Structure 1
Amino acid sequence: MTLYIAREASKLWRKVFMETSVELQLLLEKWKLLLAGLVFQYIHGLATRGVHYLHQPGPTLQDLGFMILPELGKERGYISESVFTVIFLSFVLWTFHPFIYHSKRFYTVLLWRRVLAFLVACQVLRIITFFSTQLPGPNYHCREGSELARLPRPDSVVEVLLINFPRGIVYGCGDLIFSSHMIFTLVFVRTYQKYGSKRFVKLLAWLLAIIQSLLIIASRKHYTVDVVVAWYTVNLVVFFVDNRLPEMPDRTGGSPPLLPLSVKEKDSRAKEENHKLLNGNSGENADWRQRPQVNGKHAEDGNHVHSEATLNGTRR
């Protein structure tokens, strides 16, 4: 039993090591676009902080969702953030599953490059919309009389650049149309819909997206229009950008590896098996199957076998 566990652990570490080496090579090639996407996350945070200085608290606008869904209030507002945290962390962990599991449909670096492209495109539109018109925030800390509803004039540029993370993000006001939480949620759900393999998880993901939408409205983080606009905008943006981007290589179909093998790796059977595990092809290759023999000779294909058999029949 101990030997079995040790052998399986050794295989696991070998897979993790090989996957890491390939992903690092991809990262060295694609780091510029990945870094640009991560930097834009800060720019987006800077924009939400900036619009808070422009926010003018006022009466909450008439909203159909507010009429239907009772307000969760300050004491239960954490429910919405908890559901979002589950969605966020679950997706992040799933994107790294190729480091461990045999069935691998994508490279993690390429997937995050794609996800960041979706996020940036949606966030650019979001920044344009919430700077175009500032609505009075419906959340409890954005209403008239709250100390957090207005931000005092900054003493320096550094104060703006620091954006008071994470408090400045959680208690922001004015960045309403459209919901940032729904951008991340829908991008993650659509990505799993395309590259995930579990049908039950796909259905659960869409259900959580609907629940998240209702909780955002019930917690008064956004107006209903912010959520509605997010649903059709994010889906349209992801559909358009996804069609523009080159498709990622599918690792489950036995397709050629993204990174070529060296000469030594081609000559080594052990390296071939490791590479087969790395690219998610756990089955035996069709070319390795034992060929049938006819009169002590290997047949190359079905037609050759048939012709040999025919010749043997005629000779009899």
Structure 2
Amino acid sequence: MSLYIRREASKLWKRLCAETSTEINLLVENWKYLLAGLIFQYIHGLAARGVHYLHRPGPTLQDVGFFLLPELGHDKAYISETVFTLIFISFVLWTFHPFILKSKKIYTVLVWCRVLAFLVACQILRIITFYSTQLPGPNYHCREGSKLARLPPPNNALEVLLINFPRGVLYGCGDLIFSSHMIFSLVFVRTYHKYGTRRFIKQLAWLTVVIQSLLIVASRKHYTVDVVVAWYTVNLMVFFLEKKLPELPDRSGAAAFLLPVTKDSNKSKEENHKLLNGNSGDPADWRPRIQVNGKIMEDGTTVHVEAVMNGV
């Protein structure tokens, strides 16, 4: 038993080292895209904080979702956040599964470059939208009479630039159309739907996003329009960007070796391509072959097979 554990641990360690080496090479090539995407997450948070200064509390707007869905109440507002946290953590863990599991279909760095591109595009549209029109927030801390509904004027620029986490994120007002939680959830689920391998998990993920949509409205964190706009905007944005972005390399089977990680790997790439096509790396094996009477002959020479007659 102990021998089996040591052998499996050794395989896992080798797999982890090999995957880490590959991902580091990819990170060296793509770190600019990842850094730009992460920086824009801060810019998006900064924009959401800025619109909070412009927010003016007022009567809650008439909303069909508020009539159809029972209000959960302030004490149960954590339910929607719990569902979102589950989606977020599950997706992050899945993107790092190639470091441990044998079945690998994605490269972690390339997936996150793609995901951040989707997020940035959707967040740009979101910033333009909620700065165009500020609606009175339906959330409890955004209503009239709440001390958090309006932010006092900042004393200096540093007060604006330093986002108070998590208070500044959880108690924001004014950044309504469209829902940021839905942006993250839909991008994550669409990415897993395309690159994931478990059909049951895909169906469960979509069901979870639908439940989260209802919980957001039932918690009065957003109007129904914020969720509806997120559903078609995010899906359309991802649909069009996928046509512009290069497709991720396939890691299934022998094709996993075709990713050019370094310059030295180009030779290996050509050799693997030859093997996949049925040729070896030896130029002598590239000679044309002709099939005669069920046999493959080389050098292009034709061999006539005569029938054996009269015992000769």
**TM-score scaled by structure 2?**
0.87
Deviation at 1:100, TM superposition (A): 1.3
Q: Contact 2:289–2:296 at 8 Å: present in 1 too?
A: no
Q: Contact 1:249–1:258 at 8 Å: present in 2 too?
A: no
Name which one, 1 or 2, has greater alpha-carbon Rg: 2
The alignment-based identity, stated in percent, is: 67
Q: Distance in 1 between matches of 2:40 and 2:47?
A: 10
- Check if 1:240 corresponds to 2:233: no
Q: Distance in 2 between matches of 1:250 and 1:71?
A: 46
- Check if 1:105 corresponds to 2:105: yes
Further displaced range: 137-146 or 247-256: 247-256
Report what 1:257 is aligned to: 259
Q: Distance in 2 between matches of 1:313 and 1:105?
A: 53
Report what 1:80 is aligned to: 80
Q: Distance in 2 between matches of 1:189 and 1:302?
A: 52
CA pair 53-312 structure 1, distance change in 2 beyond 3 A = same
Q: Distance in 2 between matches of 1:108 and 1:313?
A: 61
CA pair 147-257 structure 1, distance change in 2 beyond 3 A = same
- Check if 1:307 corresponds to 2:300: no
* SS of alignment partner, residue 254 of structure 1: helix
Report what 2:230 is aligned to: 230
Report what 1:291 is aligned to: none
Q: Contact 1:47–1:127 at 8 Å: present in 2 too?
A: yes
Deviation at 1:254, TM superposition (A): 2.2
Q: Distance in 1 between matches of 2:126 and 2:189?
A: 19
Q: Deviations over 1:1-46 (max 9, x none)?
A: 1111101100101000110011011101100011000000000000
Alignment of 1:99-138 (within 5 A): 99-138=99-138
CA pair 80-305 structure 1, distance change in 2 beyond 3 A = farther
Q: Contact 1:115–1:187 at 8 Å: present in 2 too?
A: yes
* SS of alignment partner, residue 135 of structure 1: coil
Q: Distance in 1 between matches of 2:166 and 2:229?
A: 25
Higher RCO structure (Cα 8 Å, ≥6 apart): 1
CA pair 304-204 structure 1, distance change in 2 beyond 3 A = farther
Q: Contact 1:182–1:227 at 8 Å: present in 2 too?
A: yes
Report what 2:37 is aligned to: 37
Q: Distance in 2 between matches of 1:205 and 1:92?
A: 14
- Check if 1:169 corresponds to 2:169: yes
Q: In structure 1, give the amino acid aligned to 2:229.
A: V
CA pair 166-287 structure 1, distance change in 2 beyond 3 A = same
- Check if 1:198 corresponds to 2:204: no
RMSD: 2.5
CA pair 224-302 structure 1, distance change in 2 beyond 3 A = farther
Q: In structure 2, give the amino acid aligned to 1:91.
A: F
Q: In structure 1, give the amino acid aligned to 2:143.
A: R
Deviation at 1:305, TM superposition (A): 8.3
Gaps of 5+ in 2: 280-287, 298-302
Q: Contact 1:51–1:131 at 8 Å: present in 2 too?
A: yes
Q: Contact 2:98–2:107 at 8 Å: present in 1 too?
A: yes
CA pair 302-14 structure 1, distance change in 2 beyond 3 A = farther
Q: In structure 2, give the amino acid aligned to 1:48.
A: A
CA pair 302-200 structure 1, distance change in 2 beyond 3 A = farther
Q: In structure 2, give the amino acid aligned to 1:208.
A: T
Deviation at 1:314, TM superposition (A): 3.1
Deviation at 1:306, TM superposition (A): 1.5
Q: Distance in 2 between matches of 1:308 and 1:45?
A: 68
Report what 2:282 is aligned to: none
Q: Contact 2:54–2:174 at 8 Å: present in 1 too?
A: yes
* SS of alignment partner, residue 295 of structure 2: helix
Q: Distance in 2 between matches of 1:222 and 1:52?
A: 15
Q: Deviations over 1:271-306 (max 9, x none)?
A: x9xxx9xxxxxxx97969xxxxxxxxxxx9894782
Q: Distance in 2 between matches of 1:192 and 1:128?
A: 28
Gaps of 5+ in 1: 267-271, 277-283, 289-299
Report what 1:296 is aligned to: none
